[in-house]
Amino acid sequence: MIVPLAAMQKEARKKGYAVPHFLGANFEMTLAAIEAAKECGSPLALGFAPEVFAMIPLEYAVPMLREAADRATVPVSIQLEHGKGYEILARAISLGIQSVMFDGSHLPVEENIQKTKEIVKMAHAFGCDVEAELGYVGGSALCDIESEESRETDPEIVLEFIQQSEVDSLAISFGNVHGRYRGEAKLNYALVEKIAGMTEVPLTMHGGSGLTKEQYKKSIEAGISNIHFYTNITLGLWRSLEELAKKRNGQPVYHEICGATIAYFKKEILNIMEICKSAGKA
């Protein structure tokens, strides 16, 4: 069943867990996540990120996600992630998506507020909730892309941003990065606690891959209600497929590769749902 993401995030904040959020870029990833959520009784968020999966048209991805989510026996939210402009967000909403993320983190604060406000007005008119980003989460899931350094969210402008934009959830930067961490991750839990103490708007974390269980635990306890995962659950896939290839003398049939991919993602996602403390919360 499809559930609005903002409502799911608010429930997670109230009960002290994080909504596990995965890319649903193709059928294998989507089915694995839904099967894992069903098995452990977890709510689930699935996103589509155009900059990561530019080869897959939005017009194919969103209907697939909607159909899969609608058939699920657990609550599933679907979101367009990191939309950089009005046009792509409007396209996603016209295709039936119920949550969009406007990423204006690269803009000056006043421009970010103004554009987020415009997106919120448009999205809310169609019953769609909006996530925005304040501060800048650096890094990238794309191996060949260089990214700016992260810039922590300034708590002094959080309330102004939320009040003026009327955004439904807020992605913050507190030492988290997209893709692989270079060296030890240093997360500013005190900053999360401070921002969480200022507002009831749910806080989300992008760049959740590769942290320790203790770091996830502390992030959730500090006030994070939604964690995005992609890079870390994909890195071990190749080893799994190499094992399959060895069993098939280097020539596995394609449907075997698909099956092995689903099984691998499901196993990884079940582990993450335990870490997010979302198992049994559906």
User: Which pLDDT tens digit goes with each residue over 54-110?
Assistant: 899 999 999 999 999 999 999 999 999 989 999 999 999 999 999 999 999 889 999
Condensed to tens digits (0 to 9), the pLDDT of residues 11-54 reads 999 999 999 999 998 999 999 999 999 999 999 999 999 888 88
Does residue 119 have a pLDDT over 60?
yes
Residues placed in the known binding site for Zn(2+): 82, 103, 133, 178, 206
Which are the contacts of 256, defined by CB distance < 8 A and separation ≥ 6? 244, 248
Structure tokens at 201: 């708007």
Phi-psi region of 167 (alpha: psi -120 to 50; beta: other; left: phi over 0): beta
Percent of the chain at pLDDT > 70 equals 92
pTM over 0.85: yes
Cα separation of 182 and 167, whole Å? 32
Cα separation of 76 and 193, whole Å? 27
Contact present, 272 and 42 (Cβ < 8 Å)? no
Assigned CATH for 5-276: 3.20.20.70
Whats the size of the chain, residue-wise? 282
Residues placed in the known binding site: 82, 103, 133, 178, 206
Position of tokens 């008119």?
Answer: 125
pLDDT at 35: 98
pLDDT at 90: 96
Of the candidates 68, 115, 101, the residue with the CA atom closest to the CA atom of residue 202: 101
The DSSP annotation for 190-223 comes to HHHHHHHTT--S-EEES--TT--HHHHHHHHHHT
Beta-bridge partner residues of 226: 19, 204
